[in-house]
Amino acid sequence: MDMWKFFDITHREHIICNPMSLEKLEQLITVLPLKPGARVLDIATGKGEFLIRLAERYRQMTGTGVDFSPYCIADVHKKHQERVPDAQLHFLEMDGAKYVPETLESFDLVACIGASWIYGGHRGTLNALQKMAAPESWIVVGEPYWRHEPEREYLEAIEVTRNDFGTHYQNVEIGREHGLEAVYTLVSSQDDWDRYEGLQWYAAETWASDHRDDPDVETVLKRVRESKTAYLRWGRETLGWAIYVFKKGGIAHF
């Protein structure tokens, strides 16, 4: 099954495609003051809510959103025209890991919230974003972390290894190893997680009821129901998620 179709189905009820509330997203925007003319890059922008909200607050910024999903890009184009039609925003349908700006170290804010897998993990994401971020800029990432040691059955169920994620502390320390200073974190609550996961169950079941003849119905329901079991049995107590705000210094640390 096409992965982007699956993602579109399971996230069709979501405004932001990660386990973070809209209230916390507003907190994030509040701690990211942007000067007039600031340049923003959002890798794996999803439905573009972060970039759109930044543009609503900072009308003189310019922004670039990159995402591989044609469904997300179509959605964010619609949001752009409906909410901030005059904002200088550009959206590219492509693999975010292959995006290379015309000038390195040129963005005042670089983000990849919840898609570190495209760069091979948290460390690879910070390394990639740092190269595109200007001195004295913001780097924002969203990353899972282990709340406690995961059980082997859980790792097998979600097809990851123990080393794919670190602890909350380790996620911050990896930034420091790159010469970045963590200045703020927003940690998802269980309510945030339950909303994120539950909306996927709801979306899959209602979509399946409305599209009984779609050849992918069985695949969608099987995947979502297995994911639901893993979340309720292990994940809800084991896996955390946070947005990390790093400040890049005036000297590059590559």
Mind listing the domains of the chain with CATH numbers?
A: 19-151+158-189+241-248 (3.40.50.150)
Neighbouring CB atoms inside 10 A of 23's CB total 9
Q: What's the pLDDT tens digit per position in 69-102?
A: 999 999 999 999 999 999 999 999 999 999 999 9
Rounded CA separation 96/73 (Å): 13
Q: Assign residue 95 a region (left: φ > 0; alpha: ψ between -120 and 50; beta: otherwise).
A: beta
Residue 141 has pLDDT above 80, yes or no: yes
> Alpha helix locations (H) across the chain?
3-10, 22-30, 49-57, 70-83, 122-132, 152-158, 168-177, 190-210, 217-230, 236-238
- Overall average pLDDT of the 95-120 stretch: 96
Q: What does the pLDDT read at residue 188?
A: 97
> Is the distance from CB of 36 to CB of 102 less than 8 angstroms?
no
Q: What's the pLDDT tens digit per position in 186-226?
A: 999 999 999 999 999 999 999 999 999 999 999 999 999 99
Q: Which of 202, 204, 205, 194 is nearest to 232 (CA)?
A: 194
Q: What does the pLDDT read at residue 253?
A: 41
Rounded CA separation 2/114 (Å): 20
Rounded to whole angstroms, what are the CA distances from 146 to 36, 132, 160?
A: 38, 28, 12
For the chain, what is the mean pLDDT? Answer: 96
Neighbouring CB atoms inside 10 A of 250's CB total 8
> Is the distance from CB of 28 to CB of 57 less than 8 angstroms?
no
Residues ≥6 apart with Cβ < 8 Å to 172: 182, 185, 244
Residue type, 154: Y
The whole-model pTM stands at: 0.95
